[in-house]
Amino acid sequence: MSRAPTSGRTLVIIVAGHLLVEAMDRPDYLRGCEQVVRLARTADGCLDFAISPDLLDPERINIHERWASRPQLEAFRGSGPDEGQTAAMKSATVEEYDVSG
């Protein structure tokens, strides 16, 4: 496996955090994310993409993404969650991290 040069260049973008939804709404919310996960995993530059239920908190949904570049992340992201998903969120704490050599 070849490695990208580490001369200050961003090697990967990590998006990580969590959302909170009502516990009774979480299964439907996650089912609504299935197509997004499928599309992300086939998108150019997507290294990993997961939206998953937290094992301890019934309201929490964990977010984890890794992208090869910011332009590829932004090309996939578009306008973000749809109105229904946004309305279902009680809160969201999601951060982006540029990881470089």
**Tens of pLDDT, residues 47-93:** 999 999 999 999 999 999 999 999 999 999 875 666 777 788 899 99
Residue 10 has what pLDDT? 62
Residue ranges with strand state E in the chain = 10-21, 46-53, 60-67, 89-100
Residue 88 has what pLDDT? 86
Residue 78 has what pLDDT? 75
What's the whole-number average pLDDT of the chain?
Answer: 87
First to last CA, the chain: 17
Please, is 43 exposed, middle or buried when counting C-beta atoms within 10 Å of its C-beta (0-12, 13-18, 19+)?
middle
Amino acid type, 40: A
Residue 43 has what pLDDT? 95
In this predicted structure, the answer to whether residue 3 has a pLDDT above a threshold of 70 is: no
Please, is 36 exposed, middle or buried when counting C-beta atoms within 10 Å of its C-beta (0-12, 13-18, 19+)?
middle
> Structure pTM?
0.82
Tell me the average pLDDT across 7-23: 87
Name the band, by pLDDT with cuts 50, 70 and 90, for residue 8. low
Backbone angles phi, psi at 88, to 5 degrees: -75, -20
